Structure 1
Amino acid sequence: MQEIAKVTLENELDLILAHKRTMKLAELACLSLSAQTTFATAVSEVSRSIIDGRQKGTLTLCIDTGSHEKYIVARLQDGKKHSEKSLEGLAYAKRLVNKYELVDKANATTVELYFYVAPPFRIDIQKLDEWRSVFRNEPPISPYEELKRKNEQLQDLSEKIQKSEAEYRTLTNSLPLIIFSLDFSGKLLYANEWLLRYTGETLNSLNTNGWQKVVHPDDVHSFMHLLESKVPAGPSAIQTQARLKHKINDVFLWHQVSLSAFINDKGVPQYWIGYIVDIHAQKVYEETLKDNFELKQTQAQLQENQVQLEKIIGELNRSNEELEQFAYIASHDLQEPVRKLLFYSDFLQKKYADGIDQTGKGFLKNMQDSAMRMRTLILDLLSFSQVNKAQVQFKETDLNEVVAVALQDLGILIQEKNAKITVGNLPVVMGDGRMMRQLFENLISNAVKFSHPGIEPEISITCTLKAGMYEICVEDNGIGFDEKYLEQMFHLFQRLHSRDHYGGTGLGLAICRKITELHRGKISANSTEGEGSVFYINLPVDIKL
């Protein structure tokens, strides 16, 4: 069945138009005037019944070339269900045609009227196209017919556009990438289903709330700059790369965003057409290559550093050997001259005091004091050099016993200052007892020494357990210090007070830090100048040797 022309049936004017077009088709099929009138009358009868029933119907004029006999066919469709008896006009129309068919469906009725033709020419595709052209180009007989034709053309165009849009939507939804269009202000006009599938956002939500929830914060600026770009000259596309969040697992994946301007036949840009393609695998591959390259560079740098480190270790070993040699000299060769210097200066002071004037006695006392400081410095340097990791003997050490021995060794100093020392319950740790005793002796002697003149020193030693570490606190009521000098105090030869007021070599706290670090711990302090100090020793509960 080949369709030639179509008429919508709504009013009396449509009935005239249906009659006219039916007559025209019969004329083209070479029917006689009486046969034309007969067929047109049959069509008009059924058409009037459809219009009178106040139902919108259609008349489609066709050619049936499917069999040996040829027919012109009028297919009339009504939006209402009819029986043969209820459709007025059919009883008369069926007597005017060669055959008819009536098909009832749920909510519609179709009547087909067949009229035999035998034209003196062959009805082929070319002839059918020629007849269609006649109806398309036929001049209207009234303004109504012109409006009707324009309306039908618009409806036909609308159907084609809708079909085209449906095909475009089906095509874009079948492709595994996001396809969209937007105006030059960045407002989305269309997007395929992949946008919703991936981001969970619709056109309205993106136009209202923007892309901030979808695009990675570090990429939002470049992404929005792309959407608001000016149209480039020529057909070139503009691109950027951005990470977009997947709605299912909230993971940001790399995508490439491309925009191309859609230009009409007159060369005027209309809107953007955009594509968003998943390039995460490619990006990961590129980053892996980059990381491998950087890794090779790092390995080369590490090898170079290893050479430098071995060189430095060699120099450190040499320095340690020299330090050990110095310690040997300090313990033997240097101590002997200082001992003799102290002996003879003391001998002169006792045996020949009457023969020396006051100025000489002053010089003699200064010499003796200098010799004493030299001996103290030598002994402290020897102690510091002997605090060596290789010499640490880890075993269970009761710190209560260690502190008791340290207090006994400092008994004279404690008695001179009339110091009050309280010791809480201390733990048993894995450590070197000799080094632990030296650690506490240094801290207690400092607390006694750096006390306010005329005020009895009060010192407390306590311990608490914190996060797998013993924190031992040595607190005093002494002169304190400014905490900005805290790090400086634990370095060699660093003093915060003049030698005239408080003696010492500046090595005591450096020795404390070294002992603590050898026991996998650390030492720190808090203080307010003039209000005392608290030194914290943190030692692990379990030491893995």
Structure 2
Amino acid sequence: MQPSPENLLKALYETLPDPVLIVNEHRIIVAANPAAAEKFGYSTDELSGMEPLALYESIEDAKEVGAALYPIGDDIKMLHRRLSLRRKDGSVFPAELTVSKLDSSGDEPIGLVALVRDLSEIYQVQEERLRAEAILNTALASISEGFVVYDDQDRLVLCNDAYRDIYPICNPAMQIGATFESIVRYGVDRGQYPDAGETQEEREAWIAQRLQRHRNPGEPFVQRVRPDRFLLVEERITEDKLHVGVRTDVSVLSQAKSEAERLGLIIENVAQEVYLASMTREQLISANKAARDNLQYSMEELRELSAADFIVGSTEEERAVLMAPIVSGETKVQVFNTVHRRKDGSTYPCRVRLERMDDLHEPLALAFVEDITERLEIENALKQKEHEFQTLVRNLPDFITRAKPDTTLTYVNEHYARSVGLAPEDMIGRKFMDFVPETERQVLAEHLAGLTQEQPLNTAEQAMPTLSGETLWYLWSNLMVFENGEPVELVSVGRDITEVREAQDRIARQSRELKLRNSALEQFSAVVSHDLKAPLRQIRLFADMIAEDVSAGKTDDLATFSGYISQRSEAMEEMTSSLLEYSQLAYQRINPENFQLSEALNLAWNNLAVNVGEAQATLDVEGDVTVYADFNLLTQLFQNLFANSLKYRQPHSAVEIKARARHVPDGLKIDVEDNGIGIDPEQAERIFGVFQRLHADEKLYSGTGIGLALCRRIIESHDGSIYLDTSCQDGARFVVMLPA
């Protein structure tokens, strides 16, 4: 038996999950289904007889709806509107109201039927999506690397500000929806890529190669976007066909590598494995400490091995095919993954960047090998993540935190948590400042206080101690997020820049050493061309006089002339020995250590025991401190100063020497003062020159005039200074400065 339409309509009315209200022509609710009673919190009896006005949150909305529906007539059309409604308990919910007229059997309108749909869940989903997008945009803005995403049609979906900054010339073309090819062509036409070539054919070939790499991404590669700026380009295609790219500025590393190649250096203590091999002899020439330690072989053992002894997972034929392009010279760089076997039999996956070097006496291959065990583990973990933002944040090697404006932590990635020895959940709720060294807190507080809505992002370098006791340097990027002019969140990203700072320090130290050596060479040349010629001229003069007397049969003055020659020869020999000592000091590598200053002073004094006794000299030491320097060189410096004090003393007076040490803001200050004949202030700088003597009478004051030059060379090798205190009136006072 078929149910009647009346029964079907009633069943639908009773079971419909959305509220249904029937209102008569007098604006009174005459019926409500169970869903309406449940949604509004009234019973069906309570709803019957109510005016709909009580269910509106806004009286204005009620008036507008009423004006649109009443009086009920044939011209009424269906009303569809979103507004807010109120429950019996006063709570409000967003709703979609649909109203249509209700006709009698005679097709006369007798009332209205209102269908109510609760939009709370829809709005909540929309808010969650918007909040997720805001979090993603905030994270991308705080990352220093360039980040970009293209869709499956190769159209731009998003990119962060860092990506736009990396390609400033291409920036105008980076519109959402623009294709990768159009952006690249825009940059090529305007000189964004220095390596794209000059002719149209060269540019088209470069564009084709770039598009091929983009559409079939492989290993990361280096791209030049300015004559002095290099990027590491990493690209991937996700399972849903999105093209994701990361750009990292490696300009500093490229410049450092270039310097190393020009100097012919292989950095022994870098963490990455480095090998140098002959392309013709197929033999390892050198391997740095990281390579030897990881493979567990000595250098001698490595030179006896073939590639098959420590490279596994490939045959000799496969390796030959892989190496063919670089062996033949077809390419300069080859990047590939392989597996190395250690001496104990264990293996580890690694990435090899092989570079051919042809500018030497034989073609060599320089290999940079990276243990990618951890990287592979991270990549495997990334595949298991569902959310793109979660993947990016959790697996970056940087420190990432989110905090309230007062630095109360709300999120900490695992990498940062491990560095402080805590679990991420144990750090949530604590102040960011709690994990900053006390010496850096005031500076960081001022740094964060300077974040404004106009300048919400800034960076600062910070030294951070590790759990093992070493100190690493991090570059922190801090972004303050503002809403309606008020700070709401602080996002911070820290990057380890220790190796970059060490490379800069090495280059600066090598420059200083080179400057010292060049200075020594210049002075050596000056002495050879001037000071050593004087005794030679005198020797030649007396030799000529002897020759004349011998030819004339005179012998009375021969002994005198030969004595002069002997004296000048001894003087030249002494000058030569002193000059050799001076020049060797310029090339001597210092070996600093911690010791007490009194140890060096006492040893220097004891080395002059004979001279001390003759001069009836005394030494008064004030302020014994710990010194970090080369003990032997510093002892020699003080010995030279003491010797000068003993030599240039007042007649008939006992020599008194005072040595005073004290810490000053710039380091350690040591004064060495005597009661001797003193030095003319006008000669304060000249006395530190090689063979600069202020007293012509060598019988009264002997010596070559190189002692103070040696002192300056010694102290400069320690990045310190020495000078004459011209304010000293009685005697001479030398000031030695050592850095902290």
By the TM > 0.5 criterion, same fold? no
Could you say which structure has the greater relative contact order, defined with CA pairs below 8 angstroms and 6 or more residues apart? 1
Larger Rg: 1
TM-score (norm 2): 0.26
Higher helix share: 1
